[in-house]
Amino acid sequence: MTSSNPLRVGLIGAGGRWGPWAHVPALQGLPETQLYAVCTAHADTAQAAAEKYGVKRAYSDVKAMGADPEVEAALVAVRVPAHYALAKDALEAGKHVYCEWPLGANTKEAEDLAALARKMKVHTMVGLQRRASPAYLYMRELIKDGYVGAVLSVNMTLMGSGVLTRTSDRTWQRDVTLGANTLTITFGHVIDALCMVVGELTEVSALVSTQVPQWFETDTKKYVDVTSPDNIMIQGRLEGGAVVNACVGVHPYHGSGHRFEIYGKDGTLAMIGGGEAGQEAQRRIVGGHKDDQALKELPVPERLKWVPEEVRNVGRAYDVGQMWVNFAKAIRTGALVEPDFDHAVRRHRLLDAIRRASDTGQRQKVAL
């Protein structure tokens, strides 16, 4: 595919956070894509967004955008509770669809969207963008090539900060039923990356907890009740037999960040830093074997970095841009692409198993 035939994308959620922050610079900085249309809830905000980003068409109705034959793919980048209805409208219009993660507010919504996508015979992608991260791709390659030999155990931690306070536009995430919380988003992204590198979990024990039951809204000066979890701890076993320990938490102050360690019969491999979205440049890979005196840095090869320098320099756009390169190529060639909506269903089901394990206190089998 050349820049003379870029994939024409319609952005649903042009007035939000993640779409403008991450997707817009990616779509506008890649030769493979063109931000062709924008859609928001109101005509005036849609027109303002179109003017801001210099795009050709503005819509305040998803079905109207779906009727535009020039729009080839729809990007759903809005709050999670709206994913299902908007993605469904785009699929029914015959558009290829990239939807942010989580795909639905629950597994049933994700299953329905995946089934509809298969029926419509369109390409889909869900925004688990670590799957296009150069650093994670390199770790997967090293494991596949036998850098550590047979994997024995895996340890992953991601400790964040700031759980006590939020602005009021973000406290909607306090309601666990809305599907956007530390378990589904923060943990969902890193556990998907872990599975990408070392393989799927087959069984899991878990503790999912809400340690801070109220958040303070810094702008309204009010406290709001919270049902969403802020600490997730799991132990499990991979399909290859290795054992896994993973812990993700959001704490009041000074979270220690991210570390992802893989121990094998022939060596050790680790990623240090870069556990959150937009932190590709902070992901440092180190490894070592029996006779090495210390772990040494393993630079990520340039061949795994598919986006231009200008996109890499916008941190949030880096691995998102890598995803769009893959998605556009798949649409143009008819090839399969990951992670699609069927993959999203698998990840939703893993999170369901983790919830069941925590609720029941019993180890759960994970359907592969």
Per-residue confidence of the chain (368 residues) as pLDDT tens digits?
445 799 999 999 998 899 999 999 999 999 999 999 999 999 999 999 999 999 989 999 999 999 999 999 999 999 999 999 999 999 999 999 999 999 999 999 999 999 999 999 999 999 999 999 999 999 999 999 999 999 999 999 999 999 999 999 999 999 999 999 999 999 999 999 999 999 999 999 999 999 999 999 999 999 999 999 999 999 999 999 999 999 999 999 999 999 999 999 999 999 999 999 999 999 999 999 999 999 999 999 999 999 999 999 999 999 999 999 999 999 999 999 999 999 999 999 999 999 999 999 999 999 87
Q: Which of 351, 325, 327, 317 is nearest to 22 (CA)?
A: 317
Phi and psi torsions of 272, nearest 5°: -120, 125
Q: What is the pLDDT of residue 56?
A: 87
* Stated pTM of the model: 0.96
Per CATH, domain 7-122+319-337 is 3.40.50.720: yes
Rounded to 10 degrees, the C-alpha dihedral 171/172/174/175 comes to 170
- Cis peptide bond N-terminal to 339, omega within 30: yes
Q: Which of 85, 97, 79, 31 is nearest to 61 (CA)?
A: 85
Judged by phi (left if over 0) then psi (alpha if -120 to 50, else beta), residue 189 lies in alpha
Residue ranges of the chain that CATH labels 3.40.50.720: 7-122+319-337
Q: What is the pLDDT of residue 359?
A: 98
Residue where the block lists tokens 């558009």: 95
Question: What's the distance, CA 53 to chain centroid?
Answer: 24
DSSP one-letter string for 154-192: EEEEEEEE-TTEE-GGGGGGG-GGGS-SIIIIIIHHHHH
Q: What is the pLDDT of residue 1?
A: 44
State how far the Cα of 79 lies from the Cα of 170, in Å rounded to an integer. Answer: 10
Residue ranges of the chain that CATH labels 3.30.360.10: 133-304+348-365
Tell which CATH classification among 2.40.50.100, 3.30.70.1110, 3.40.640.10, 3.30.360.10 matches the domain 133-304+348-365.
3.30.360.10
State how far the Cα of 350 lies from the Cα of 368, in Å rounded to an integer. Answer: 9
